């Protein structure tokens, strides 16, 4: 007998979508505020990037821990704890009076996000897992909240920085966290706590490994790819990740049970999410720079220029993808979506120093948006639905980790590629365009590779089968 649907599930979905919106918005909202933060707190150019990286690394590195805690303690409790930590980190980030405190506060925000994201997906599965059709719609709403958060972050960052002050790019999270905490007890389903241990060593190794690899890639253009510092830090990061896998293979209650990847399509769907993040986030990042530094758009105009792309993604995820999935299945949508994204990125690589938004950006960005919309929902849903119900938090943590790690590494690699082609020559629009073009083309290669991998590794299976 099918369990009765929770009558409050759609209102709960709105809070879950808000969670996805906020954790993604917090990666982008600081962009316009960075010069003010740098001037007031005394960041040097080398350290300034860690206002972004500290959040992403803590977020990506601790997602598996968040997923494990969600399975053990209950998703509802971890969801509420995540909002509490995020609010505390946001308060501290706005009050910070030094570089060290600011970076630590951003990392604390990332910890909160790492608890929120996997527990939110687990709650979504608890609310909608009984009905495959509703589950697809819920995933579509959840997925559409990500690009909306990214674009809103750019726009809100400009508005807040101009009309208030930079601390408010962090403090805006606090009233939203209070609202989420007030609604969570009434809307979210509860699950009893389970016995089990928490692999703190595994969480530390995963976070250290990710931090080392990202740090090495970000610093490589300046230090040199063959320098002792780059090789040592990169080697240390890879060693930490290898140690993480080794620890997981011998622990009786690991942070990430390696056997979970034997579930049909789970590993393949996660690889698709990694490569999707590695292609999409660099595109969004460098497109914003092209609009401002080459085309000369202000922060408001730049944010507005991303709205058509964001609207196209949301329509694609909420309206188009759910209708196509039962008809054509997961593999064609994921592989085809990544292929279309690659085409859009290749078109963006043709941007000109004297270009225009209507010719150089709008058509290509809409093509890329269509690809993202088609690939994201089926790969996400497959990655979550392939796991056993009792490992929903782990599966949520893995897929979120994959996307965030792919985003961090893809952005670091494309930043290095762009810098080697002239992206560091501020004021020289020709050199900047060459650098951004190289990054777009590199991201197109990642998306194309992702499409081929999905075509080979995903099993032919309908979305209905995946959900049921």
285: confidence class by pLDDT, cuts 50, 70, 90: confident
Count other C-beta atoms under 10 Å from residue 102's C-beta. 25
In 272-375, the DSSP E strands lie at none
Is-contact 142 20, C-beta < 8 A?
yes
* Residue 185 DSSP label: H
- Is pLDDT above 60 for 40? yes
By C-alpha distance, which of 125, 386, 396, 423 is closest to 288?
A: 423
Buried residues in 169-184 as b, exposed as e (16+ CB within 10 A): bbbbbbebbeebeebb
Is-contact 280 444, C-beta < 8 A?
no
When comparing pLDDT for 87 and 43, which is higher?
A: 87
Out of 75-84, 168-177, 274-283, 413-422, pick the least confident: 413-422
- Is pLDDT above 80 for 466? no
- Is pLDDT above 50 for 233? yes
Q: Which domains does the chain have, with CATH numbers?
A: 9-185 (1.20.1250.20), 205-254 (no CATH), 264-468 (1.20.1250.20)
User: What pLDDT does 464 receive?
Assistant: 40
- Is pLDDT above 60 for 460? yes
pLDDT in tens, 144-165: 887 778 777 877 887 887 788 8
Helices (H), 349-391: 362-385
Mean local confidence (pLDDT), 231-248: 92
User: What pLDDT does 45 receive?
Assistant: 56
Range of 26-40, 133-147, 231-245, 407-421 with top mean pLDDT: 231-245
Q: Which residue has the tokens 């369990």?
A: 3
390: confidence class by pLDDT, cuts 50, 70, 90: low
Q: What is the DSSP string of 111-146?
A: HHHHHHHHHHHHHHHHHHTT-HHHHHHHHHHHHHHH
Q: How far is Cα 190 from Cα 216, in angstroms, rounded to an integer?
A: 42
Contacts of 317 (CB under 8 A, 6+ apart): 140, 141, 143, 144, 373, 376, 377
Q: Maximum distance among all alpha carbons in the chain? A: 66
61: confidence class by pLDDT, cuts 50, 70, 90: confident
462: confidence class by pLDDT, cuts 50, 70, 90: very low
Handedness of CA 328, 334, 337, 343 (dihedral sign): negative
User: What pLDDT does 21 receive?
Assistant: 92
Q: How far is Cα 398 from Cα 254, in angstroms, rounded to an integer?
A: 13
Mean local confidence (pLDDT), 49-75: 83
Q: Which residue has the tokens 């088609």?
A: 374
User: What pLDDT does 85 receive?
Assistant: 98
Q: Which residue has the tokens 């896998």?
A: 245
Mean local confidence (pLDDT), 118-138: 87
When comparing pLDDT for 468 and 264, which is higher?
A: 264
Mean local confidence (pLDDT), 335-343: 97
Token representation of residue 28 = 């982008």
Out of 156-160, 231-235, 343-347, pick the least confident: 156-160
Q: How far is Cα 85 from Cα 58, in angstroms, rounded to an integer?
A: 13
User: What pLDDT does 188 receive?
Assistant: 93
Helix (H, G, I), strand (E, B) or coil at 60: helix
244 vs 59, 70, 237, 300, CA distance in Å? 17, 20, 11, 43
Q: How far is Cα 117 from Cα 122, in angstroms, rounded to an integer?
A: 9
- Is pLDDT above 70 for 324? yes
pLDDT in tens, 7-39: 889 999 999 999 999 998 898 788 777 778 888
pTM: 0.79
Q: How far is Cα 312 from Cα 306, in angstroms, rounded to an integer?
A: 10
- Is pLDDT above 90 for 4? no
Question: Mean pLDDT score of the chain, rounded to an integer?
Answer: 86
- Is pLDDT above 90 for 81? yes
């Amino acid at each position: 007998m099918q369990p009765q649907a929770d009558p409050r599930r759609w209102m709960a979905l709105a809070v879950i979508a808000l969670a996805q919106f906020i954790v993604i918005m917090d990666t982008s909202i600081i962009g316009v505020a960075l010069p003010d933060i740098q001037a007031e707190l005394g960041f040097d150019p080398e350290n300034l990037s860690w206002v972004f990286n500290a959040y992403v690394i803590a977020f990506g590195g601790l997602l598996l821990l968040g997923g494990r805690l969600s399975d053990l303690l209950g998703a509802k409790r971890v969801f509420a704890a995540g909002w509490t930590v995020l609010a505390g980190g946001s308060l501290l980030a706005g009050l910070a009076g030094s570089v060290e405190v600011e970076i630590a506060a951003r990392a604390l925000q990332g910890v909160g996000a790492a608890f929120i994201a996997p527990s939110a997906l687990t709650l979504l599965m608890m609310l909608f897992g009984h009905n495959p059709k509703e589950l697809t719609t819920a995933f579509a709403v959840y997925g559409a909240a990500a690009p909306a958060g990214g674009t809103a972050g750019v726009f809100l960052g400009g508005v807040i920085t101009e009309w208030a002050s930079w601390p408010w790019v962090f403090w805006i999270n606090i009233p939203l966290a209070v609202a989420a905490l007030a609604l969570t007890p009434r809307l979210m389903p509860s699950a009893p706590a389970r016995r089990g241990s928490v692999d703190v060593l595994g969480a530390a190794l995963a976070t250290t490994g990710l931090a080392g690899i990202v740090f090495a890639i970000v610093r490589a253009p300046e230090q040199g790819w063959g320098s002792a510092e780059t090789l040592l830090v990169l080697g240390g990061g890879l060693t930490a990740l290898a140690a993480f896998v080794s620890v997981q293979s011998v622990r009786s209650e690991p942070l990430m049970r390696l056997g979970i990847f034997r579930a049909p399509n789970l590993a393949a769907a996660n690889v698709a999410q990694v490569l999707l993040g590695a292609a999409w986030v660099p595109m969004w990042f460098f497109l914003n720079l092209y609009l401002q530094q080459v085309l000369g758009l202000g922060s408001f105009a730049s944010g507005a220029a991303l709205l058509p792309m964001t609207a196209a993604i949301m329509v694609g995820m909420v309206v188009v993808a759910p209708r196509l999935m039962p008809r054509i299945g997961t593999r064609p949508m994921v592989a085809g979506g990544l292929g279309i994204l690659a085409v859009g990125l290749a078109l963006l690589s043709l941007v000109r120093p004297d270009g225009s938004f209507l010719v150089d950006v709008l058509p290509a960005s809409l093509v890329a948006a269509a690809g993202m919309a088609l690939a994201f929902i089926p790969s996400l849903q497959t990655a979550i639905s392939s796991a056993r119900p009792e490992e929903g938090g782990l599966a949520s943590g893995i897929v979120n980790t994959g996307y965030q790690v792919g985003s961090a590494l893809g952005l670091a690699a494309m930043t290095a590629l762009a810098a080697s082609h002239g992206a560091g020559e501020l004021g020289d629009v020709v050199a900047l365009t060459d650098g951004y073009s190289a990054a777009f083309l590199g991201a197109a290669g990642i998306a194309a590779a992702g499409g081929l991998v999905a075509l080979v590794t995903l099993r032919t299976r309908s979305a209905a089968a995946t959900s049921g």
